[in-house]
Amino acid sequence: MQYGLLVMGAPYSSPAPHSALRFAHAIITRGHQLAGVFFYHDGVHNASSLMAPPQDELNLREAWLELHQYHDVALDVCIAAALRRGLMSESEALRHGKQAFNIVSPFELTGLGQLLELQHRSDRFITFA
Amino acid sequence: MILHILTKAPDSRAATQMQQALGNQDSVLLIEEAVTAALNPAWAAWQKYRSRIFLLSEDLTSRGLTHIAAKHQLPTMDVDDFVALTEQYEKTVTWY
Amino acid sequence: MAVPNALLVIIRHAPHSSNWLREGLDAALVAAAFGQPVHLLFMGQGIMALLKEQGSGAPGQKATLPTIDMLEMYDIEQLWVSEGELKSMQLSTGSLVEGVTLIADQEIPGLMQQHATILNF
């Protein structure tokens, strides 16, 4: 089956990203495909390349990155939710006149249309918030 | 048929709202903070949704509640069973 | 009431307490803009989003009412309000914006089953 996940909890404030990652690996272990993960609300912070947790804590962004690298999972970040929380790609930083950026590939800034598209495309769609 | 995932404690608004939305054939999985329901075997939901409500064992273990859940003979499932449950239920709704 | 491929968006959070309400309504508006039929169900504190006398918040904090007023323009006309929760909040439909439909608590599970897709905010 094709699964899609919606993650709306922030890293290191909510257990939702950990629950979602654990579920993502369990899906794949059972032989399903994970079509994509959509980050919305405070979940957009999962995509920040500037997160620097202490070494004895899991770097959640890197955990998502591995999911992309080994299982080709699309990582989409809601652009409106990201921009208002100070998360942006290099091109958005240029557009908004900011000196730094913290969203890099394979995380993609995208519209909410992608969330609806993922929900339609997936046989199963699970929210972690 | 819907699988409801509750992430907040049994006395939360989310828990109340989930119970309002729960159909006769729906199931419930308690994860994250919701596994504190293991502390209260008198919680009405245990009887009311008997045989279709479960605790996520990994979240019980991390909170030190595994033995309490076993003592109260409450049903548990691990994350692999969680995926299996989502295979059976076309829709899931998360309450947080 | 049963519309195939309709999206049910559940709103459970009040204005001026978190961004759940705003981002939930945004999801509803985008789905409607993409031509998907969208229905809204207001539960608990989410009912406060429909209070007709609400204003804007602390300086710079946006009001919700203009977004609620926009729903009709996006053809989002089905606004269900949980009757039991409205009562338990000691509110009546007279305090709410026009065009809401009360839904009895025992009908909420049926409403959930009828929608192929649900987003819960």
Cβ within 8 Å, pair A119-C117: yes
Q: Among C8, C106, C113, C115, which would you mutate to test the B interface (most chain B Cβ atoms within 10 Å of its Cβ)?
A: C113
At residue C2, the pLDDT reads 59
Interval B26-49 mean pLDDT: 98
| Residue C60, pLDDT score | 86
**Each residue of C1-11: pLDDT tens digit?**
556 789 999 99
Please identify which residue in the block is written with the tokens 């308690």.
Answer: B30
- Report the topology of domain C7-54+62-120: Hypothetical Protein Ychn; Chain: A, (3.40.1260)
The chain C residue lying nearest B12, using CA atoms, is: C44
User: Measured at the alpha carbon of residue C11, what is the angle toward residues B33 and C102, in degrees to the nearest 5?
Assistant: 120
Q: Is A102 a catalytic residue?
A: no
Q: With contacts defined as CB-CB under 8 Å, which chain A residues touch B32?
A: 15-16, 19
Q: Which chains touch A (3 or more CB pairs under 8 A)?
A: B, C
Residue A97 token pair: 């006149």
| Cβ within 8 Å, pair B31-A129 | no
**pLDDT digits over A97-126, tens only?**
999 999 999 999 999 999 999 999 999 999
pLDDT tens digits, residue range A55-103?
999 999 999 999 999 999 999 999 999 999 999 999 999 999 999 999 9
Catalytic-role residue among A78, A79, A83, A87:
A78
DSSP H or E run through C102: strand C100-103
Residue boundaries of the structural domains of chain A: 2-128
Q: What is the ipTM of this complex?
A: 0.96
pLDDT of C118 reads 98
Among the partner-chain residues C84, C109, C116, the one whose CB lies closest to the CB of B22 is C109
Contacts of A114 in chain C (CB under 8 A): none
Indicate the average pLDDT of chain C: 95
pLDDT value for B77: 98
Chain B CB contacts of C45 under 8 Å are 13
Q: How does DSSP classify residue B44? A: H
Best mutation target among A40, A122, A125 (most C Cβ atoms within 10 Å) is A40
**Pairing of the two strands B76-77 and C78-82:** unpaired
Q: Collapse the DSSP code of B25 into the 3-class scheme (helix H, G, I; strand E, B; otherwise coil) and give the result.
A: coil
**Best to test chain A binding among B86, B88, B96 (most A CBs inside 10 Å):** B86
Average pLDDT over residues C68-87: 96
Residue B87: pLDDT above 60?
yes
pLDDT at C57: 85
Task: Report the 3 state secondary structure along chain A.
Answer: CEEEEEECCCCCCCCHHHHHHHHHHHHHHCCCEEEEEEECHHHHHHHCCCCCCCCCCCCHHHHHHHHHHHHCCEEEEEHHHHHHCCCCCHHHHHHHCCCCCCCCCCEEEECHHHHHHHHHHCCEEEEEC
Residue of B nearest to A26 (CA): B80
Number of neighbours of residue C104 by Cβ within 10 angstroms: 9
Average pLDDT over residues C26-37: 97
Q: Look at A16 and B7 and tell me if their CB atoms are within 8 Å.
A: yes
Residue B96's nearest CA partner among A16, A37, A11 is A16
Cα-flanking dihedrals φ and ψ of residue B78, to 5°? -95, 180
Task: Residue window 43-82, chain A: list those with CB within 8 Å of chain C.
Answer: 80-81
Query: Considering only A45-49, B79-83, C52-56, which range has the smallest mean pLDDT?
Result: C52-56
Cβ of B93 within 8 Å of Cβ of C120? The answer is yes
Q: Nearest by CB to B2, which of C45, C85, C112?
A: C112
- Facing residues of C101 across strands? C80
Nearest CA in chain A to B34: A15
Residue B64 domain boundaries: 2-95
Q: What confidence category does residue C58 fall into, taking pLDDT thresholds of 50, 70 and 90?
A: confident
Q: Do A124 and B90 touch (CB under 8 A)?
A: yes
Question: For residue A34, what pLDDT is reported?
Answer: 98
- Check which CATH number belongs to the domain holding B12 and give it: 3.40.1260.10
CATH class of A2-128: alpha beta
Domain-wise residue ranges, chain C: 7-54+62-120
Q: Rounded to an integer, what distance in angstroms lies between the CA atom of residue C63 and that of residue C67?
A: 8
